[in-house]
Amino acid sequence: MFPVLLSEWIKVRTVRSTFITLLLTFVVTVGLGAVVCAVLASTWNTQPASERADFDATGASFSGIALGQLALIVFAVLVVTSEYSSGMIRATLGAVPQRLTLMLAKVLTVVGLVGVVSVLTAFISFFLGQALLGSHRTSLSDPGVTRAVFGMAVYMTLLALLSVGVAFIVRRPIPALAILMPFFFLVSPILNAVPKVKNVAHFFPDVAGRQLYSVHGNTDVPYGPTAGFFIVLAWSVGCVVIGYLLFARRDA
Amino acid sequence: MIEVNELTKRYGDKLAVDHLSFTIPQGVVTGFLGPNGAGKSTTMRMLLDLDRPTSGSVRIDGKHYGQLREPLKYIGALLEAKAVHPGRTAYNHLLWLAASNRIPTRRVDEVLALVGLTAVAKKRSGGFSLGMGQRLGIAAALLGDPKILMFDEPVNGLDPEGILWVRNLMKSLAAEGRTVFVSSHLMSEMALTAEHLIVIGRGRLLADMPMNQFIDQNSRSFVRLRTPQPEQLLDMLSRNGMTALQDRDGGWEVENGDMARIGDLAAEHRVTLHELSPQRASLEEAFMRMTAESVEYHTGGSGTGAPAQQDPKPEPAAAWGANWKKES
Ligand SMILES: Nc1ncnc2c1ncn2[C@@H]1O[C@H](COP(=O)(O)OP(=O)(O)OP(=O)(O)O)[C@@H](O)[C@H]1O
Ligand SMILES: [Mg+2]
């Protein structure tokens, strides 16, 4: 297992797309979060009272993830699909024919790397956002805040895992991105605004993730952060398991 | 030893490999021949467990490929399609391969030098020419110093110098006692390198025999004659116990004829000859005849017309070499 893990790590660190996509994830998430916080702070007095009452300073500093997650999805999808689009998957399986071992190594590599990037992104987004919020800020010692910040890192990592699973199912980069990006950026937010449908859409991974990384959470959504974590986990593990089952029996 | 047993692969309606059984002999170059679409690449992918057989099995020293630990140390393969990420350097491509099978890193530099890519080792492989890509694929196959090597059309896209290099490489690998299994659709190329021959067509086994046996069975020699007096010629030949068959363009062929004797007889009988030449049907022709019924895609018309050669009995290999140059 260790040699395969090392080999997967070499693969990931020797292509430019890794740096570009992960840097973009970090910059967009932190940057957009900072802009949102700065704008909120300067327009605080014009905000409606109800907004001000249940203002979630932690969630506000994580606003950037709505866009930042797209770059993260691209990273995770490319780790898998570039093997197929370049034909390299045949070299990979020639070297490591044990497909379960191979997939585990890929998953662990992605989880490890994205885990580190996510923790950095979560904490820096948080501290920068709070600094910009000025007097409306919160701190890690307030109830639920530390959980929400780590929740952010966990959500990002699980999102990468989910994308790896989908990439193994779909194999080609464009279709995989064409499923994932609109889903997280458009479909889920829209369906969550439609009455009735939203009862189902509330269980989508991005909504569950938001419960995980905000302090107050969305009161419309019928579950809290712990359930949110398990819902995102179920989506990710589900996609990876389906991906593995297909990967194990398909021709490379 | 690689044993293929009743191997079958179906893609939808298409039967790509059809109950194929053969054993690849150890320590020699085995040519794996077949026209386009015969199922060579598919068979090779199944040997590596990349494509799963519909039925049948492959055993490598009794084991399934998936049971091999660190398979690169055991069997190295160059497959048809490029298997390299264009954004990664040649060195890094070999580095991850080496890491996966616990091959020492210094071996990466060794194989790069061996295939002549040292100068471009730190360049992205996306910019490589076809020939450089092929060399990188060969470097990857050699990385684990395996005792079995498998090459799918390794000379594709190479210039004459590259072809010569690959040919010599295969021979030297076999001389070191390694098993080399190489596919091609050119009989003439194989005749130069392979000691054993496996021919398939439409996924079925057509021949499995030592190269020289194939040559003995399939290289026909004859004398070609041309004359403005065909009746006299035929009469003269038949009275001397020889028969002639007319060929496609009006000449006559005498199977296993003695050229000097025919010349003498013609002078004696005052038969004018416009041509008297020794001929040898090329192996390419024999191969095409063998696979004629199984060819997947005919190119309009001219099909099997590999020209018979002017061959005043030189060393066979040299003659086929000349033939190969004309065709490639
Ligand atoms: N993945 C696939 N899906 C569907 N059909 C396939 C697939 N791979 C191969 N085939 C078909 O199987 C047959 C055998 O193909 P294969 O590539 O093995 O032939 P080949 O002998 O390697 O030919 P060539 O000399 O052109 O490389 C062909 O008819 C091909 O179209
Ligand atoms: Mg082929």
Chain A contact set for B95 (CB, 8 A): 10, 14
Query: Range of B238's domain?
Result: 221-280
CATH number at residue B93: 3.40.50.300
Q: What residues of B are in contact with residue A96 (Cβ under 8 Å)?
A: 100
pLDDT confidence of residue B294? 62
Nearest C-alpha neighbor of B148 from the set B57, B79, B82, B77? B77
pLDDT of residue B256: 75
B186 touches ligand 1 (CB under 6 Å): no
Is residue A198 pLDDT above 90, yes or no?
Answer: no
**Chain A residues 59-78 with a CB less than 8 Å from chain B:** none
B154-183: b or e for each residue (b if 16 or more CB lie within 10 Å)? bbeebeeebbebbbebbbebbeeebbbbbb
pLDDT in tens, A19-74: 999 999 999 999 999 999 999 888 888 878 777 777 888 988 999 999 999 999 99
Distance from CA of A162 to the nearest CA of B (A): 23
Question: Residue B21's CB: how many other CB atoms inside 10 A?
Answer: 12
Task: Return the CA Rg of chain A.
Answer: 19
Same domain for B104 and B239 = no
Of A14, A87, A98, Cβ closest to residue B81: A87
Residues of chain B under the 70 pLDDT cut: 293-328
CATH of the domain at B263: 3.30.70.870
- B9: Cβ below 6 Å to ligand 1? no
Domain end call among B163, B197, B216: B216
What's the helix, strand, coil split of chain B in %, to 5? 40, 25, 35
Is residue B311 a part of any domain in this protein? no
Q: Decide if A72 contacts A114 (C-beta within 8 A).
A: yes
> Is the CB of residue B186 less than 8 Å from the CB of residue B284?
yes
Q: How far is the alpha carbon of B327 from chain A, nearest alpha carbon, in Å?
A: 30
User: What local confidence, expressed as pLDDT, does residue B295 receive?
Assistant: 61
Check residue A238 and give its pLDDT: 97
Share of chain A above pLDDT 70, in %: 100
Interface list for B 157-186 with A (CB within 8 A): none
Q: Which residues of A touch B84 (CB under 8 A)?
A: 86-88, 91
Higher pLDDT, B314 or A189: A189
Task: Establish if B155 belongs to a structural domain.
Answer: yes
Query: From ligand 1's centre to the CA of B42, what distance in Å?
Result: 6
Strand ranges of the sheet holding B75-78, from the earlier edge strand across to the other edge:
B75-78, B148-152, B179-184, B29-33, B196-201, B204-210
Judgement on whether residues B193 and B250 belong to the same structural domain of the protein: no
- Smallest Cβ distance to A10: which of B77, B96, B140? B96
| Ligand 1 site, residue B144, Cβ cutoff 6 A | no
Stretch (H or E) spanning B216: helix B211-218
Identify any residues that bridge with B253 across adjacent strands, giving them in sequence order. B224, B245
* Contact B96 CB / ligand 1 (< 6 Å): no
**Considering every ligand atom, which ligand is closest to the CA of B296?**
1
Quote the pLDDT of residue B150.
96
Mean pLDDT, residues A176-191 taken together: 87
Is A88–B48 a contact, with Cβ atoms under 8 angstroms apart?
A: no
Task: Note the ligand closest to the C-alpha atom of B15.
Answer: 1
Question: Are B70 and B141 within one domain?
Answer: yes
**pLDDT computed for residue B312 by the predictor:** 38
B235 and B122 within one domain: no
Chain B environment of A10 (Cβ under 8 Å): 92, 95-96, 99
Q: Are residues B98 and B26 in the same domain?
A: yes
Report the pLDDT value the prediction gives residue B297, as an integer from 0 to 100. Answer: 53
Would the CB of B11 count as within 6 Å of ligand 1? yes
Q: Are residues B179 and B243 both part of a single domain? A: no
Question: Rounded to whole angstroms, how far apart are CA atoms A160 and A169?
Answer: 14
Task: Determine contact, residues A131/A206, Cβ cutoff 8 Å.
Answer: no
Instruction: Tell me, yes or no, whether B115 and B259 share the same domain.
Output: no
Q: Report CB contact under 8 Å: B84, A88.
A: yes
- Of B4, B7, B13, B41, which is best to mutate to test ligand 1, by the most ligand atoms within 8 angstroms of its C-beta? B41
How many distinct structural domains can be found in chain B? 2
The pTM for the full model equals 0.84
Is A4 in Cβ contact with B45 (below 8 Å)?
no
- Report the separation in Å between the CA atom of B39 and the middle of ligand 1, taken as the mean of its atom positions: 5
Contacts of A141 (CB under 8 A, 6+ apart): none
Q: Nearest CB to B97: which of A16, A87, A95? A: A95
Residues B17 and B96 in one domain: yes
The token duo for B30 is 């085995």
Give, as one character, the DSSP assignment of residue A195: T
Are residue B37 and residue B135 in the same domain, yes or no? yes
Residue B89 neighbours by CB under 8 Å, 6+ apart: A14, B121, B122, B123, B124, B125
User: Pick from A7, A86, A250: which is nearest to B96 by CB?
Assistant: A7
Tell me the mean pLDDT in the region A88-100: 96
Q: What pLDDT does residue B212 have? A: 84
Looking at the structure, tell me whether residues B155 and B38 fall in a common domain: yes
pLDDT of residue B296: 53
Name every chain B residue with its beta carbon within 8 A of the beta carbon of A7: 96-97, 99-100
Closest partner CB to A7 (pick from B48, B82, B99): B99
Q: In which order are the strands placed within the sheet that holds B14-24?
A: B14-24, B2-11, B55-60
Establish if B124 touches chain A: CB-CB under 8 angstroms: no
Is B12 an interface residue toward A (CB < 8 Å)?
Answer: no
Q: How many angstroms separate the CA of residue A103 from the nearest CA in chain B?
A: 13
- Could you tell me if B52 and B140 lie in one domain? yes
Does residue A100 belong to the interface with chain B, where contact is any CB pair within 8 Å?
no
- Identify the closest residue of chain A to B64 by CA–CA distance: A97
Kindly report the protein residue whose alpha carbon is nearest to atom 28 of ligand 1.
B37
**Distances from the Cα of B18 to the Cα of A97, B6, B22, B107, angstroms:** 24, 8, 12, 39
- Among B216, B249, B270, the domain boundary falls at B216
Instruction: Write the single-letter amino acid at A236.
Output: S
pLDDT at A135 over 80: yes
ipTM: 0.90
Q: Do residue B32 and residue B134 come from a single domain?
A: yes
Task: DSSP for B229-272, please give it.
Answer: -HHHHHHHHHHTT---EE-TTS-EEEET--HHHHHHHHHHTT--
